[in-house]
């Protein structure tokens, strides 16, 4: 499981304040805590911060790069912010994200190829998030076709079938798993699959429990990566355990300790 730590996001008050007051130490501590907890990469999103999005994003990236060589997942829908950010990144970079509209893919995919970045593509287009499995599979096929057309390797492409909160969209968790299953079957080689896991439990009461169980279910369906709360220890343990049970990690009695000490 490729764990992308979600916490450097202006959606969190502490991060928004740190960005607005240029408190580099607060961001760097968040980066280091997530990496120590087992994150493989760090999502970076300016969220609803005051000031220019490009300036805030470049400042955040620089703060993170000063303390780690870990991959940075640049989280913005805006092409101009994305382009400035990927050109400023020295760490390995994941572009997060493009939508599945052909016109968007025709800008984001060539940028990923030119700069050697990995790319997350959402199954969202001008009509919004698909309601069912079929809509996601159709958009997934568009994404794969465009990636091949522009020469992006499937190992560098992550499809995000977009999970919504279960309390307002109860059919979606199963539809997302169905889409991962089908898209894995119809593409050879298959791209990778990623989710913004915490969306599933937003504004729900049993947040941690919902996210944890859903992550294990999605790993069973073939999920390769998640933007998730690496600081939630039980969530990390669920991910490692699911991988042991799918023989993606070797079993030993102390598999959690072994996994964490290999980081
Ligand atoms: N797919 C991709 N990228 C994404 C998402 C996705 N990036 C953003 C988001 N979705 C994933 N990251 C988060 C980060 C935080 C929360 C949810 C998803 C979250 N935040 C608290 C909340 O809203 O309740 C903030 C609480 C606070 O203010 O402290 O839940 O789907 N590719």
pTM of the model: 0.98
Pocket lining: 160 vs ligand 1, CB cutoff 6 Å: yes
H helices of the chain, in order, are 13-20, 24-36, 53-65, 79-88, 102-115, 133-150, 172-186, 207-221, 233-245, 255-261
For atom 8 of ligand 1, which residue has the closest CA? 196
Looking up tokens 């509209």 gives 101
The answer to whether 123 and 162 are in contact (CB under 8 A) is: yes
The string of pLDDT tens digits covering residues 86-127 is 999 999 999 999 999 999 999 999 999 999 999 999 999 999
Cα 124 vs. chain centroid, distance in angstroms?
15
Containing domain of residue 109, as a range?
Answer: 2-261
Residue 253 Cα to ligand 1 midpoint, Å, equals 34
Give the residue, by CA position, lying nearest to ligand 1 atom 26: 12
The CATH number of residue 224's host domain is: 3.20.20.20
pLDDT tens track for 39-48: 999 999 999 9
Task: Check pocket membership of 196 for ligand 1, CB cut-off 6 A.
Answer: yes
Model pLDDT for residues 143-161, shown as the tens digit of each residue:
999 999 999 999 999 999 9
- 16, two tokens: 């928004």
- Residue in 199, 208, 226 to alter for ligand 1 test, most ligand atoms within 8 A of Cβ: 199
Total of domains in the chain: 1
What atom in ligand 1 is closest to the CA of residue 13? 28
| SS3 track for 129-166 | CCCCHHHHHHHHHHHHHHHHHHCCCHHHEEEECCCCCC
Query: Token pair of 2, please?
Result: 């490729």
* Residue pLDDT, tens place only, 166-218: 999 999 999 999 999 999 999 999 999 999 999 999 999 999 999 999 999 99
For position 103, what pLDDT does the model report? 97
Whether 49 shows a pLDDT value over 90: the answer reads no
Tell me whether residue 69 is exposed, middle or buried, using C-beta atoms within 10 angstroms of its C-beta: 0 to 12, 13 to 18, 19 or more. Answer: exposed
On whether the CB atoms of residues 158 and 120 are closer than 8 A, the answer is yes
């Amino acid at each position: 499981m490729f764990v992308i730590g979600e916490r450097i996001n202006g959606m969190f008050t502490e991060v928004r304040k740190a960005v607005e007051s240029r408190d580099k130490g607060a961001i760097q501590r968040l980066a280091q805590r997530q990496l120590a907890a087992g994150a493989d990469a760090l999502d970076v999103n300016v969220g609803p911060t005051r000031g220019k999005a490009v300036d805030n994003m470049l400042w955040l990236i620089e703060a993170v790069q000063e303390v780690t060589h870990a991959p940075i997942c640049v989280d913005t829908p805006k092409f101009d912010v994305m382009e400035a950010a990927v050109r400023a990144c020295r760490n390995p970079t994941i572009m997060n994200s493009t939508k599945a509209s052909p016109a968007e893919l025709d800008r984001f995919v060539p940028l990923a190829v030119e700069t050697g970045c990995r790319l997350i593509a959402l199954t969202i287009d001008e009509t919004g998030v698909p309601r069912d499995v079929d809509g996601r599979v159709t958009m997934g096929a568009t994404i794969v076709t465009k990636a091949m057309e522009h020469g992006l390797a499937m190992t560098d492409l992550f499809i995000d079938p977009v999970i919504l909160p279960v309390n307002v969209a109860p059919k979606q968790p199963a539809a997302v798993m169905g889409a991962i299953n089908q898209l894995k079957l119809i593409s050879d080689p298959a791209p990778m699959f990623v989710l913004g896991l915490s969306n599933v439990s937003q504004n729900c009461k049993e947040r941690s429990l919902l996210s944890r169980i859903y992550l294990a279910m999605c790993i069973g369906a073939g999920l390769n990566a998640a933007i998730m709360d690496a600081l939630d220890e039980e969530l990390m343990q669920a991910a490692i355990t699911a991988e042991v049970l799918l023989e993606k990690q070797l079993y030993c009695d102390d598999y959690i300790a072994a996994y964490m000490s290999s980081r």
